[in-house]
């Protein structure tokens, strides 16, 4: 089962169960349909929002490769080191 399914009817009616599963299983999740990382934990979101030097939606910045070609653990090491690393 895909952890992040934002357009499912069940998610639209009540998104909290999906976010709970996501936070428990994979708080930083690669969502291939958007080629984007989904960050679901409060502390992780706060960290990313405050570190605009590392995280940005600016399309001109280099984007890390998907987890199929780059280890997610190298991209995000949960605030212990710099999480935004080009592979």
**Residue 75 pLDDT > 60:** no
Q: What is the pLDDT of residue 81?
A: 43
pLDDT in tens, 1-51: 588 888 999 999 999 999 999 999 988 888 888 878 888 888 888 888 888
Read off the pLDDT band of 71 (50, 70, 90).
Answer: very low
**pLDDT for the residue numbered 52:** 79
DSSP state of 64: P
Can you give the pLDDT at residue 73?
A: 43
What is the distance between the alpha carbons of residues 56 and 52, in angstroms, rounded to a whole number?
A: 6
pTM of the model: 0.60
CA distance 33 to 15: 19
Average pLDDT over residues 45-63: 76
Terminal Cα distance for the chain, rounded: 28
């Amino acid at each position: 089962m895909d952890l992040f399914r934002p357009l499912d009817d069940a998610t639209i009616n009540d998104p909290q169960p999906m976010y709970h599963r996501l936070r428990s299983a994979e708080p930083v999740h690669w969502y291939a349909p958007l080629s984007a990382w989904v960050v679901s934990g409060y502390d992780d979101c706060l960290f990313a929002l405050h570190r605009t030097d590392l995280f940005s939606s600016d399309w001109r910045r280099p984007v890390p490769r998907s987890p199929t070609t780059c280890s997610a653990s190298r991209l995000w090491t949960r605030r212990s080191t710099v999480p935004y690393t080009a592979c």
